[in-house]
Structure 1
Amino acid sequence: MKLVCKLCNIEITKHLVELQNLNLLNENDGEDYIPSGFYIVGDGRYDRESKGKIIINLNDLINSKHHSDTSRLNGCCGLDGLDGINTVCINNHEIGTENSDCWMAHYVTLEPDMIGWVED
């Protein structure tokens, strides 16, 4: 399955499969939170703001870029995701939030109302 931007229908992820073994999630700072190739629906356990959102590995995101509003791109070594949606598709539609700062595990949360699913 792949995810697409709901507004323009461009693919925004590589092929993904739901992660069944949640023991593979990694909360270590500076490391991938979720293995590449997988997604989960956030339950708010690691990040309260992720509840109900799709969480993927940064390396699985395609056809995307950082938001043009630089006030949303805060962080010291990466993006901390604390200032709102900071990731858009290549057509500038908001899709989610990158969390990649040094003091957190790295992942992207995608907004369910801004994305769609397609079979591949």
Structure 2
Amino acid sequence: MVVYRCWECDAAVTRPVTKLTDETLLQEGESVMQLAEMGAGEPDYVPEGYYLESPDDSPIPRADGWPLLNPEDMVETTLDMEVYCGCCGPDGGQGPNTDCRNGHKIGIERGDCWTVHSVALDPKAIYQE
């Protein structure tokens, strides 16, 4: 298990998470649209309690190669409302929108009604403990 921390201030930004090795657990593509159409709510891309290490095809714009997590695994982080941009949640299209508790940009959260929900952590702004 790992905990991600802010590089600038050492604040924990995630609870302990385990590397996801079974990618069949990811919610993507047509299954996401089917879940949304059935009224199942917006699905989380990565299951809670896991992280996906450096995907090359991130569902978050400009975050290829960044570790992906479930938004529920984030701790003491805030969304920067100036780069929020979604109608029902952050769409992640405007760049880094997630700050550690001390205001340092650490990643991009995507969680609008038309997207899968996930957080991509900027590898230059965080480290693993």
Q: TM-score, normalized by length of structure 1?
A: 0.91
C-alpha contact (below 8 Å) 2:62/2:95 kept by paired residues: no
Moved more, 25-34 or 10-19: 25-34
Partner of 1:36: 48
Partner of 1:23: 24
Distance 2:26 2:127 in 1: 24
Q: For 1:113, what is the secondary structure of its paired residue?
A: coil
Q: For 2:106, what is the secondary structure of its paired residue?
A: strand
Matches within 5 A, 1:62-81: 62-67=75-80, 70=82, 72-81=83-92
Post-superposition shift, 1:50?
2.6
C-alpha contact (below 8 Å) 2:58/2:65 kept by paired residues: no
Q: As a proportion of its length, which structure holds more strand?
A: 1
Distance 1:85 1:46 in 2: 14
Structure 2 segments unaligned to the other structure (5+ residues): 37-41
Partner of 1:14: 15
Post-superposition shift, 1:46?
3.8
Post-superposition shift, 1:49?
2.5
Post-superposition shift, 1:45?
5.4
Post-superposition shift, 1:42?
1.9
Distance 1:42 1:25 in 2: 12
Candidates 80, 103, 126, aligned match of 1:115: 126
> What CA deviation, in whole Å up to 9, does each residue of 1:71-116 have, x standing for no partner?
x110011110111100000100000011000001000000001001
The amino acid that maps onto 2:45 is Y
Candidates 45, 52, 56, aligned match of 2:65: 52
Q: What number of residue pairs does the alignment pair up?
A: 116
The amino acid that maps onto 1:20 is T
Distance 2:12 2:73 in 1: 11
**Percent of residue pairs bearing the same amino acid type:** 34
Residues 45, 81 of structure 1: CA spacing in aligned structure 2 closer, same or farther, 3 A cutoff? Answer: closer
Structure 1 residue ranges, 4+ long, deviating more than 4 angstroms after superposition: none
